[in-house]
Structure 1
Amino acid sequence: MLIHTIQGIQEMIGGSLQLNGAAADQRVAGVSTDSRIIEQDNIYIAIAGERVDGHTYIDSASKQGAVLAIIDNEAFVTSSIATLLVEDSVKALQDLAKAYRESLDIQVIGITGSNGKTSTKDILAAGLMATYKVTKTLGNQNNEIGVPITLLRASKDTDVIVCEMGVENVGDIAFLNPMVQPTMSILTGVGAAHLATLGSKENVARAKLEIMDDLPNDGLFVYYGDDPFLAKVIDEKQDVPVERIRYGEQDDNQIQLTSFTQKDDMIYFTTSATNATFHIQTIGKHQAINALAAIACLKKLGLRDQQIQAGFDMYEPTGMRNEVVKIDRFTILNDSYKSNPESAQAAIDAFAGIEGAYRVVILGDMLDLEPDEKMYHKQVGAYVANSSFDELIAYGPLSKYYIEQASKIAPNKVYQHMDSHDAIVDYLESLENHSIAVLIKGSRGMQLDKVVDKLRGKYE
């Protein structure tokens, strides 16, 4: 983590410093924007959000051990803690991260994409861990606040940062690039996510392709070669002089998935890049494809197959993504963090590997797909209709289109629309089957993870 002095922080980002009894050379260590998780000697950065103003928690942060507060509201200068008054707290956080990143002689791998970026981040970080000291993005901290927090968590002896970078609009990655300064980057593909703001999949591709713009000449750009929308616009980046590696299942990829099997909660796969057979404790072919992107970077860093597998053995997924949860007679594939057509189809494919005598698919709305949201929900409904399931439970106003389409193709299945998490949990409990497999998939706004939590609470 960032370790400096109070005065040193001022020298890095400017601002008006009031020591309030503290010493200018007092040590600071680490940064937080959340007063609830302050650690001793932290810098607390007070950010005024839409619902909560972090300035109101300065005293709380001080009591928990913060020694410096970075603020942008003069009314909150307090005698309880040293304060650094800046014009904009968010920009100060970003400037601090940029200055700290520039002080590190380090590999930084940036990852973006409509689907799979978090899983790819976790797989890549695991592949590195047996050989290098690694800092990776925690959870989904991939925006203008989360990215600098990730950079500032790295220590001086970190070898590699694996940094997830999110996109909402054109220019988002271009804004983050000077801060992250990636030496390699991965684009996991283009999907229907963010069509409401970006308008077309080609525009989504252009927004995400910004991740290769600031790579050094000896850098590496790894991208999903099976993506037709990415293929349409990649030639627009011909003037970016970096090594490029395509991965996927098609024959023209430099790293191709050559075999895949799944047994219980373990996947086994081979690639055209090596003779080794790798395994990872997860499910779904899409995870093997995500691993191809990781392997491209790992090979660039000179790791041998044995080192890569030793790292893969340490794989720990981020919660609510392709997470297998066992609760009494239920085996649940919890993939409730987000959803769009591509990730929903991948989850349905992965669900085929979950064993259960009775198979229940729970699908919540996919958000931010305007103006074609109805069409995309029908497409996923058709996809699930051709999979192995006994019952489809729909949740959310748009989810009725899943049922509308699926029931036409597979009319003999059970279809229900439910309007609360409690109703879903009560219904699952009422099922008499001794072995029940459940897929839970929906956009984050649907909060379907609560179904897992409520069901767990019934049995634990």
Structure 2
Amino acid sequence: MKLPLSRVAEFLSATGEFDHRAIAEGYSIDSRTLRPGDLFFAVKGERLDGHDFVEQALAKGAAAAVVRKDQLARYSVKTRLLAVEDTLVALQTLATAVRRLWGKLVVGVTGSAGKTTTKEAIAHLLATRYRVLKSEGNFNNHFGLPLMLLKLQPEQEVAVIEIGMSHAGEIAALAKIAQPEIGVVICVAPVHLEFFNSVSEIARAKYELIASLPAGGTAVLNADDEYVSQFGRDFKGKVVRFGLKAPADIRAEHIQQCGALGSEFDLVVDGCREKATLPLVGNHNVSNALAAVAVALERGLTPSEAVEALRTLAPADRRGQVVQLGNITVINDCYNSNPKALNAMVDVLAAIPAKRHIVVAGEMLELGSSGEELHRRAGRHMAEKKIDVLLGVRGLAQPMVEAARQAGIRAEFVPTPETAGEWLAQETRAGDMVLLKASRGVKLERALETWQSRQAIVPSGRN
């Protein structure tokens, strides 16, 4: 939302020398991607401090820069600087003010897996009737969420915002900024165990989204998840449940998996039955789609309209994308991973006919002291599903490989994604189906890039 700097300074209680009539055309924390007219926030990240890049941002045409008061002395020219006590707090404060000024519906989405796919599905369905802002990529933390809210424009009618966390209290803090009226919780799974003592603690952290909703809000909950299904017990607003197995308001029945093309199922709502086609692979994505349908119906779409919109839903980048390398089919799901998500995609792979099923699985991060055992369980699960070959990539993928090998399947380990790409170029053959999955930090997409460069094939597929 465009704002005059005088209004920004008012919201932030900022001081300094700047043109009060100048307009902030956009907002940035990265001088590399900043556009002329943006307001630059000099926030401090894990590795870099934005205060080191203020002059670069102003030279690129920033309308002004928001800096900490204790950093003012380092700048020889102090014009176009708005001084505040804390730049991250300032960013979040301005986002909160813009959200209130905008004043329309925010849908918040969280869960241990499936957040981005569900957010994309909700936005896709709602866009058939409303002007929608959705989180870009996984802009779901204390930096990204405020930046997304600052993109709100007066003409937009709904915002669909992804809310992530790695520590208790984070969702509550982000929800205080976003102020969602509809909260969607997909699932609870053993992720971020480096920062939690148990899955129950993770569940309590995810519940913060429901606890943040207003009394007249709506909680959209997964009836099939043992934790999420209980989130509505003490909630005073409206509860809508979706599911494949447990009794639910929005259900999928007679699910038929169609290999790499996705699935077909009956959408059942209040006795109404509609035949649905979903171009995303796996039962877990059917569940994600049901969450999106639940939100769409709350906003006035009919079941038939929701089903029609699902037909044109596409997978998000590196989240279940199906591509072809010659006669080899690749499921590119390498954006992120955790034990539950990995097992779900292994199940998808195993159910699709192919000459060989190959899993390229990078290590799963932030699993704490349970990490090695959870990787071993994943390896055994692959053996149970009769995967032909497991290629483990980096770190804790080693015990996953060991467990899979002990359970009777071929399993190898490589230290880097680039080495995995070399292996794929040499070892795969026509008729194979390959799953790529790993935690974001592994950067497993480099395996696909290396493989493609060795094959000299331009991939074709559904985006």
State whether residues 284 and 353 of structure 1, in contact with CA within 8 Å, keep that contact through their aligned partners in structure 2: no
* 1:283 counterpart residue number: 281
Q: Which moved more, 1:74-83 or 1:157-166?
A: 74-83
Q: Which moved more, 1:92-101 or 1:170-179?
A: 170-179
Give the alignment of 1:223-262 within 5 angstroms.
223-231=221-229, 234=231, 238=234, 240-262=235-257
* 2:191 counterpart residue number: 193
Deviations 1:66-88 (A, max 9, x none): 21111112135464861111111
Deviations 1:324-368 (A, max 9, x none): 232334322121222211101111122235564332111111222
TM-score by length of 1: 0.92
Give the alignment of 1:51-450 within 5 angstroms.
51-72=47-68, 73-77=71-75, 79=77, 82-231=80-229, 234=231, 238=234, 240-263=235-258, 264-273=260-269, 274-352=272-350, 356-409=354-407, 411=408, 413-431=409-427, 433-450=429-446
Deviations 1:288-310 (A, max 9, x none): 11011111111111112343245
Q: Counterpart of 1:170 in 2: which secondary structure? A: coil
Q: Which moved more, 1:448-457 or 1:289-298?
A: 448-457
Could you tell me how far apart the structure 1 residues matched to 2:448 and 2:378 are? 22
Give 5+ residue unaligned stretches, structure 2: 459-463
* 2:9 counterpart residue number: 10
Going from structure 1 to structure 2, the CA distance change for 1:128 and 1:230 (only over 3 Å counts) comes to closer
Could you tell me how far apart the structure 1 residues matched to 2:26 and 2:308 are? 30
Could you tell me how far apart the structure 1 residues matched to 2:59 and 2:356 are? 52
State whether residues 55 and 76 of structure 1, in contact with CA within 8 Å, keep that contact through their aligned partners in structure 2: no
Deviations 1:35-82 (A, max 9, x none): 121223111111122321222222332333321111112135464861
Deviations 1:388-446 (A, max 9, x none): 5321111223223223332343x2x3221112223222221113622332111111222
Going from structure 1 to structure 2, the CA distance change for 1:430 and 1:186 (only over 3 Å counts) comes to same
Q: Which moved more, 1:140-149 or 1:272-281?
A: 272-281
Counterpart code for 2:390: L
Shift of 1:380: 1.1
Deviations 1:105-156 (A, max 9, x none): 3110001111111111111111111111111111111111111111111211
TM-score by length of 2: 0.92
Q: Which moved more, 1:334-343 or 1:398-407?
A: 398-407
Over the residues paired in the alignment, what is the CA RMSD in angstroms? 2.0
Going from structure 1 to structure 2, the CA distance change for 1:227 and 1:132 (only over 3 Å counts) comes to same
Shift of 1:96: 0.1
State, as a whole percentage, how many aligned pairs show the same letter: 28
Shift of 1:455: 1.9
Q: Counterpart of 1:198 in 2: which secondary structure? A: coil
Q: In the alignment, is residue 48 of structure 1 matched against residue 48 of structure 2?
A: no
Could you tell me how far apart the structure 2 residues matched to 1:146 and 1:137 are? 9
Could you tell me how far apart the structure 2 residues matched to 1:215 and 1:432 are? 50
Shift of 1:317: 3.2
Give the alignment of 1:19-34 within 5 angstroms.
19=18, 23-34=19-30
Shift of 1:91: 0.4
Count, aligned residues = 451
State whether residues 357 and 433 of structure 1, in contact with CA within 8 Å, keep that contact through their aligned partners in structure 2: no
State whether residues 210 and 231 of structure 2, in contact with CA within 8 Å, keep that contact through their aligned partners in structure 1: no
Could you tell me how far apart the structure 2 residues matched to 1:80 and 1:218 are? 47
